[in-house]
Amino acid sequence: MAAWCCAALYGPPDLDLAMTALIGAEVAVDPAFALRAVARALIGPYLAYAGGRPLDQLDAAVAIRAGNPALSPIEVSRLGEAAALVVYSARSVRDLS
């Protein structure tokens, strides 16, 4: 599969939202990234502001990212943790509203 471009090529708008949240979460779970706590803190507010139903497309976003040849094997191995962070962040925001 080709690298991600936009939902217009792959699916519904919620896929764009899920992809953005997932990429942010990938940064948040990368122990080498100095500002990962900031990335983690932004995921929930992003999801709250974006609206839609990105969790419905999260599995598709993970599959697209996993097929991206630009990701290293280590980055691919962190996708599950990143996806779990997206779900946790979405639920945390929903619980606060």
State pLDDT tens for residues 18-69.
999 999 999 999 999 999 999 999 999 999 999 899 999 999 999 999 999 9
How many domains does the chain divide into?
1
- The reply to whether 1 falls in a domain is no
Return the structure tokens found at 29. 């779970």
- State how far the Cα of 90 lies from the Cα of 38, in Å rounded to an integer: 16
- The reply to whether 90 falls in a domain is yes
Return the structure tokens found at 30. 């990368």
Confidence class for position 2, pLDDT limits 50, 70, 90: very low
For position 93, what pLDDT does the model report? 82
34: phi then psi, degrees, rounded to nearest 5:
-65, -30
- The reply to whether 45 falls in a domain is yes
pTM over 0.85: yes
Return the structure tokens found at 62. 């993970």
For position 71, what pLDDT does the model report? 95
For position 5, what pLDDT does the model report? 59
- The reply to whether 12 falls in a domain is no
- Residue-number span of the structural domain to which 69 is assigned: 19-96
* Contact predicate 25/43, CB 8 Å: yes
